[in-house]
Amino acid sequence: MTAPTPPDGQKSGDQAPQDYDPWRPPPPGQAEPYRAPYPMAPMGVVQPRNGMGVTALVLGIVGVVLGLLVIVFWISWLPALLAVIFGVVGLSQVRKGLATNRGMALAGVILGVVGLLTALGGGLFTVMAVKRAVDDRRAKVEQRAKDAEEAKASESAAEKARHLSFGESYTFENGLKVTVAKPQPYTPDDYVLGHAKGNRAVQVTVSVVNTGKERVEVETGLPNVSDADGASTELVIDGSGRQKVITGYVLPGRKAVGKYAFSLPPDAADRIEVEFSPDAMRWQDAYWSGPTD
């Protein structure tokens, strides 16, 4: 190959003039000057593929952080699982020489496993907490139902205890022990109120004993009498002086006796019921019943 001919008036080896432009086309009739080729990158050099390891590390951190949060721990398993998958792929690329960040990929796998374990632990904790709450709620409901049944049974037993036969006694919570004797026939005087001709009159005797240590006042000294069909009777008032109303206080260990007469219509049932309470505003009535004959 022949060297290019220098420009007019310039010998080979001389410096080019200042206005010389190597990129300017040569004058007509002259050959193209030689230009050295640009340097080329060496063939066969591959850029490392470190994306999988970086992604695994980021997802592993996200999975662990979400797993530590009480509210969103239930979604931490997804980034943690992806961290394990991307980390394994990244380690595989490192073994093949396609990546260089083995530490990132390995850290992503480890953090992913930790995130999965955290998610599993949070799930178990939540299940146990929910189960404990459900069990406690069920126990409270069962206990409430049991208490209601016991209260109902106790109320039923108390109601049953307040229904007695004539001659039996019932002790109220204020310590007054009340006994109603079997009614006896009663013949009113000629001057009487509450008794019509043809009716049948009976006398009811109520005994009150103070079993406590303090005196107790009898607020309600009149019993209420009805027949077996629920028909009320009338209180008989006459001038015989045989009737006595319990009033005032009953001293400890003392006894007060009240006697009352009631008029029953001719068609009244053979059984009657006497209702009495020493204080109707505080204590429920007790009931005595039985035949009149």
154-195 pLDDT, tens digit per residue, is 778 888 889 999 999 999 999 999 999 999 999 998 888 988
51-68 and 102-161 helices, crossing angle to 10°: 20
- Averaged pLDDT of the chain: 83
Task: Judge contact between 186 and 203, C-beta under 8 A.
Answer: yes
Residue ranges per domain, the chain?
51-131, 164-291
Quick one: the chain helix, strand, coil %, rounded to 5? 35, 20, 45
User: Tokens 């045989």 map to which residue?
Assistant: 242
Rounded mean pLDDT, 59-75: 81
Q: What is the pLDDT of residues 103-146, one digit of tens each?
A: 988 998 999 899 888 888 888 888 888 899 999 999 999 899 88
CA atoms within 13 A on the CB side of 70: 3
Separation in Å, CA 210 to CA 58, 84, 216, 219: 87, 86, 7, 14
Closest CA to 88 of 48, 66, 120, 60: 60
Bigger pLDDT: 60 or 23? Answer: 60
CATH architecture for residues 164-291: Sandwich (2.60)
Split at pLDDT 50, 70, 90, the class of 213 is: very high
The pLDDT tens digits of the residues spanning 252-276 come to 999 999 999 999 888 887 889 999 9
